[in-house]
Chain A
């Protein structure tokens, strides 16, 4: 207890408190779910060592108990309950030690691979929510080593321990910059991934081996980025190509990303319960083979207006997400976002629960 008190006094705590509320339709009834979240950050650099912890407590209320089958078409599946439980956990907790030219990073940390905004096929360890791609992600327990090599190149090696050495994930990438013009990385991963069993509808794990690639550059002044993976076992490729452009007023910008996911389906009539459960559990990136994400943003002083949309090219379904954020002062901001799913019955995004969410965050 004394040590904890000493730590709190010695290291200035920082972080944020956030409240989010969401009203949404579920089976023609309006529901409300909300949470309060405290993120307490402690970080300190001592000589060539640095540590950071983000201790998070999230407390849910309102509609916290769900049946996953409410979010999938009628297949006559048995109920699959899940609950938003209040929890205390470390979002990040790592130690970084620098022994030039090596840097070791040990513990729960952000992997941060990939250049995509809406999807990151190369970051197989952390999955973004398509409804809020820029939201903080929970860290991954990993042992990592960075090796500085000539010029602006480095090697990033990672090891993610599991129950046995054989089932553990490992890999690395070479990262570099060519003449300030092109940022790129090339990598390889042997990792443990989770899938939904199509018969018993329970998650199971299996090993995958993939090559990864990402880049970020510009063409005719327009930002171009992309990333992709090639699965050595399934021979399937997942690729993302994106462009971003800022209009002459300097206040309006747009982003367009195209995802080609060979693990997805061409026709929504081929979606099966396992596809839905894989998608809803975040085990797969998308249900469709071809998806387009679009974001248009305009800044007006302390306001940012936003219109985002994700469109499944194969089943012609989409989510339209208008939003606004406002900065009250140096510490507090408000974000409001609406979700509207459109498309034929039983398509990927037609099952989105229409709703509105608001989020207030105060930093300290």
Chain B
């Protein structure tokens, strides 16, 4: 039986592996709170707390900043490739254009583009796969029509959970990773493997952003109506 299982694992094609990676990440819905700490190149720290709601994996995301007081109520809505931002100071809801998606989100090492990647299969195609003792190394390049600024992604995928433990982000025509994402402290929450600690490191500047999940709930249903630009002001204020 073990031999058969090993055989099945070994015969996983890059496309099948990508499907598995995506299916693990595609939870029907979630509500939670995360703490995000930006560590600057000089070692200064800036901490945010963010309440988040997701639906259909990461296809629909709503993030509301609840701490510190300076940014309380700032919020971002992501539906597929579209991003809207709401800033309570001005009361304006603005759609973020494609060019602006290279911008760091609230000064973190995550760009708006990183947040809109969603499922890999939609935007990337696998071009290489290697097997290691506990993981697969999967190389992805953007599909022709995908609006992606990265040249390639290299994922180190955990064999047990199919969660990418390390993702290297390469810019186009560069052979050193520009950024590295590390996902660790994998916990099983309601039968769903969940990385509780995520670090995005900018290898060029040395800055990094740590994200720690403080609370997560996969059971409470999230209303579809929540993910609408017209609701953004209301949700952010409350």
- The interface of chain A, by Cβ under 8 A from chain B, is 14-16, 43, 45, 50, 52, 96, 103, 110-112, 114-115, 117, 133-137, 146, 148, 152-154, 175-177, 180-181, 183, 216-218, 221-225, 244-246, 248-251, 253, 299, 301-302, 327, 329-331, 333, 361, 363-364
Contacts and interface: CB of A to CB of B under 8 A. Distances in A.
A244 B91 contact: no
Interface in B17-72: 40-42, 44, 46-47, 67-70, 72
Contacts of A244: 97, 100
Given A225-B94, A302-B40, A363 B69 contact: yes
B103 A246 contact: yes
A218 B97 CA distance: 6
B95 A218 contact: yes
Given A43-B237, A246-B100, A253-B100, A301 B79 contact: no
Nearest to B81: A180
B238 A363 contact: no
Given A221-B98, A223-B96, A223-B97, A363 B70 contact: yes
Given A246-B103, A250-B111, A299-B107, A330 B97 contact: no
Contact of A330 (B47, B89, B94, B103): B47
Contacts of A180: 79-82
A333 B97 contact: no
B109 to A, nearest CB: 10
Given A180-B82, A224-B97, A330-B68, A302 B233 contact: no
B92 interface: yes
A103 B67 CA distance: 27
B237 A50 contact: yes
Q: Closest 3 interchain pairs by CB? A: A363-B69, A223-B97, A112-B91
Given A117-B90, A180-B80, 16 more contacts: A50-B238, A112-B91, A112-B233, A117-B92, A152-B228, A176-B230, A180-B82, A181-B82, A218-B95, A218-B97, A246-B103, A301-B40, A301-B41, A330-B70, A361-B70, A363-B69
Q: Which of B81, B101, B228, B230 has the most CB of A within 10 A?
A: B230
A354 B100 CA distance: 33
Contacts of A223: 94-97, 99-100
B230 A152 contact: yes
19 contacts: A117-B92, A133-B90, A134-B87, A134-B90, A146-B230, A177-B230, A180-B82, A216-B95, A221-B99, A222-B98, A222-B99, A223-B95, A224-B97, A225-B94, A246-B99, A249-B102, A250-B102, A253-B103, A330-B67
Contacts of B161: none
Nearest to A252: B103
Contact of B70 (A148, A224, A225, A331): A331
Chain A binding surface, main DSSP class: strand
A112 B89 CA distance: 10
B230 A175 contact: yes
B89 to A, nearest CB: 6
Contact of A331 (B69, B82, B103): B69
Contacts of B107: 299, 301-302
B118 interface: no
B93 interface: yes
Contact of A251 (B93, B104, B225, B233): B104
B70 A245 contact: no
A326 to B, nearest CB: 11
B234 A103 contact: yes
Contacts of B100: 223, 244-246, 253
A15 B69 contact: yes
A107 B123 CA distance: 47
A15 B70 CA distance: 9
A183 B97 CA distance: 12
B82 to A, nearest CB: 4
A137 to B, nearest CB: 8
A201 B227 CA distance: 50
B229 interface: yes
